[in-house]
A = this chain, B = another copy of it.
Amino acid sequence: MPLNKVVKNAQEACADIQDNMTLMLGGFGLCGIPENCIAELVRQGVKGLTCISNNAGVDDFGLGLLLHQRQVKKMISSYVGENAEFERQMLSGELEVELIPQGTLATRCLAAGYGMPAVFTPAGVGTEVAEGKEVRNFHGRDYLLEMAFDADFAIVKACKGDTMGNLVFRATARNFNPLMAMAGKITIAEVEELVEPGDLDPNEIHTPGIYVHRIFKGEHYEKRIEQRTVRQ
């Protein structure tokens, strides 16, 4: 792989994503989601996906689009309640859902990106999340042993990126994106602005390009707001 990670578009970036693969998708709600890649996955119609994503989109946007096409076999998320089609598939048994605490989700991404096979967290101790998991006491406090994620692809969205795959995120659109970028066997980054090496300040890069395999400039970002809330 050359250091120049640029691919033409989402179609080229996602060309080898196959049925039944595990994908991580960045974003929190609809904030910071890889819109171009999601649209491309819908277009190419890949099926049986396991999607690791904090949320599952809404009915007509984000991962909701993949759910609508019944391309998702399993969702691994922390919160999924914004989506009627999701609810229907889940209740009918068409869709498998694994709900895990948000911090556990984040930390299992971090573990993968940092080569740690497993991590300890107190989240979920004494709850049904702990079922079947190893509990271990350190200094008088119980922790669950949680495994690093193992995903075929991570698909993230950044505000800016350079051709070497260095990424910068903006505001709370950062969320899970840099963590998932580190955690995929193959990481695809779509960016609002693609720049040349040297254009980003090396002190301000959130994700080093070593973690990123493909990068492209996305198009037509809708950046939909889920809960538009304003001051009176």
List A residues at the B interface (Cβ < 8 Å).
107, 114-122, 138-139, 141, 143, 168-171, 174, 202-204
Minimum Cβ distance to chain B for residue A74 (Å): 21
Q: In the complex, are the beta carbons of A138 and B117 less than 8 A apart?
A: yes
Contacts of A116 in B (CB 8 A): 107, 119-121
The CA-CA distance from A174 to B202 in the complex, in Å, is: 12
Contacts of A119 in B (CB 8 A): 116, 119
The CA-CA distance from A14 to B89 in the complex, in Å, is: 59
Q: In the complex, are the beta carbons of B121 and A120 less than 8 A apart?
A: no
Contacts of A114 in B (CB 8 A): 107
Q: In the complex, are the beta carbons of B117 and A118 less than 8 A apart?
A: no
Copies in the complex: 2
Partner of A169, one of B143, B171, B203: B203
The CA-CA distance from A114 to B174 in the complex, in Å, is: 18
Select the residue from A117, A118, A139 with max chain B CB neighbours within 10 A. A117
Q: In the complex, are the beta carbons of A141 and B117 less than 8 A apart?
A: yes
23 contacts between A and B (CB under 8 A): A107-B114, A107-B116, A115-B121, A115-B122, A116-B119, A116-B120, A116-B121, A117-B120, A117-B138, A117-B139, A117-B141, A117-B143, A118-B120, A118-B138, A119-B119, A168-B203, A169-B203, A170-B203, A171-B202, A171-B203, A174-B203, A203-B204, A204-B204
Contacts of A118 in B (CB 8 A): 120, 138
- A-B contact sample (11 more), CB < 8 A, given A118-B120, A171-B202, A174-B203: A107-B114, A116-B119, A116-B120, A116-B121, A117-B120, A117-B138, A117-B139, A117-B143, A168-B203, A170-B203, A171-B203
Minimum Cβ distance to chain B for residue A79 (Å): 21
Minimum Cβ distance to chain B for residue A27 (Å): 17
Select the residue from A169, A170, A202, A204 with max chain B CB neighbours within 10 A. A204
